[in-house]
Amino acid sequence: MNAPVNTAVNPIGIHDITFATGHHSFALETLAAKHGIDVGKFHKGIGQEVMSQPAADEDIVTMAATAAKRIIDRNGTDGIRTLLFATESGVDQSKSAGVYVHGLLGLPSRVRTIEMKQACYSGVGALQVALGIVARNPQEKVLVVASDVARYDLNSGGEPTQGAAAAAFLVQANPGILAVEPASGVYTYDVQDFWRPNDRHTALVDGKLSIDAYLNAVRGAYDDFIDHGGADFAAIDRFCYHQPFTKMAVKAHMALREHVGLSADKAETAAELETTMHYNRMIGNSYTASVFLALMSLLETESDNLVGKRVGILSYGSGAVAEFFTGTIVDGYQKLLHADEHKKALDSREPLTYDAYRDLHPGTRVADITDYDTPEVTDAPFRFAGVKDHSRIYQRR
């Protein structure tokens, strides 16, 4: 067995973490009924109940700013010199979505701001960059936001896995929630399983290939993790996976168990991961934010017994890049959770009818570039007011 990695000296990791989601919800029961599909396929087959949908005046920027505001309101801006914005569904080819968030939050100008992209992986990519920055200067903090609207074509296999959410977290020395251990396993290989060309609102996907690619990447990243001194499988207490749909996490964990020579019963594996799946089941795929929603679900569902536990975290971004790493839960983490705000965000979503959901969906048309105003719908602190002279307009409320 490998020796557990020592994080007693200068731990660095996640100090505070929260999420925001879209104004609307859309029940998969409605989609199933309208499409003549047995709802069991969605609820049990892929493990999804509801998808979040942004209002017409919301996007990745407004959701990210809403989540990040909660972090800033609690922690202030002292020490934050970097803002990393991870997303698959960027709103501009040049300007970082993070710069809009920086402006909306009124952050100091002495901050470097960058957008990062590699499908669903870049949230964990941003976390690793942040850890490196803080390791070099432990006085600094990094604000990371991972925000996405997952959209597939109407009537496609991916449609029931859509969703929307933004995770925001603060990376710093002596973190209050998760001390990230140094060992990490990475894996990149070129595969065309899921991608979104520049002129499309919706992703293209080869569903079956994407599942195989994900499983292949789990094994590859884990092997690299072990080769780089990572903790033994048996020394990892909980596992959080990227969840494009929650059943994917079950497939991934079964594959990993088999890979390390253990049996992999489906029901037992699902039960083992259950506490990580609440938010993703009720929100849908949020691409870069998904694995952090899994972590928040775990922390809030098991809020009384995780201190000192080691969590294995697996991020997968199609195309494909994966990373597996571990962290330990810090004593007192319960005091930093935002469970009440998260419950409110989910419970207060305004349900969409089937027709309203279809009206909001951009379909397969190319991106809008002409001037338009959006209707005032969201009650979030920030809104996307429309496009003027090819520029996106954001408002504080």
**Which single residue brings its beta carbon nearest to ligand CAA?**
45
Alpha-carbon gap, residue 222 to 259, rounded angstroms: 9
- Of 39-47, 108-116, 164-172, 339-347, the segment contacting ligand CAA by CB under 6 A is 39-47
| Least Å from the CB of residue 216 to ligand CAA | 11
Alpha-carbon gap, residue 286 to 207, rounded angstroms: 17
DSSP three-state, residue 302: coil
Binding mask 270-309 for ligand CAA (x = CB under 6 A): ---------------x-x----------------------
Instruction: By CB under 6 A, tell whether 40 contacts ligand CAA.
Output: yes
Nearest to residue 162, comparing CAs of 357, 19, 375? Answer: 357
| Number of residues near ligand CAA (by CB under 6 A) | 25
How many secondary structure helices (H) and strands (E) does the chain include?
12, 17
- Of 206-214, 221-229, 257-265, 340-348, the segment contacting ligand CAA by CB under 6 A is 206-214
| Cα 11 → chain centroid | 23
Q: Which helix (H) or strand (E) holds 123?
A: helix 122-136
| Least Å from the CB of residue 156 to ligand CAA | 7
State the number of CA atoms in the 13 A half-sphere of 150 facing the CB.
Answer: 30
Alpha-carbon gap, residue 373 to 165, rounded angstroms: 23
Sheet holding 382-388, edge to edge: 372-373, 382-388, 391-396
Positions in 42-101 near ligand CAA (CB under 6 A): 44-46
What HEC string does 116-174 produce? ECECECHHHHHHHHHHHHHHHCCCCEEEEEEEEEECECCCCCCHHHCEEEEEEEEEEEC
Nearer to ligand CAA, 38 or 368 (CB): 38
| Least Å from the CB of residue 297 to ligand CAA | 17
- Of 138-146, 202-210, 216-224, 375-383, the segment contacting ligand CAA by CB under 6 A is 202-210
| Least Å from the CB of residue 85 to ligand CAA | 18
Is 45 marked as binding a ligand? no
Say if residues 384 and 373 touch (Cβ distance below 8 Å): no
Positions in 118-137 near ligand CAA (CB under 6 A): 120
Applying CB under 6 A, the residues found at the interface with ligand CAA are 38, 40-41, 44-46, 120, 157-158, 161, 194, 205, 207-208, 210-211, 214, 242, 244-245, 248, 285, 287, 316, 318
Residue ranges for the known binding site are 38, 152, 157, 251, 285
Residue ranges for the known binding site for substrate are 157
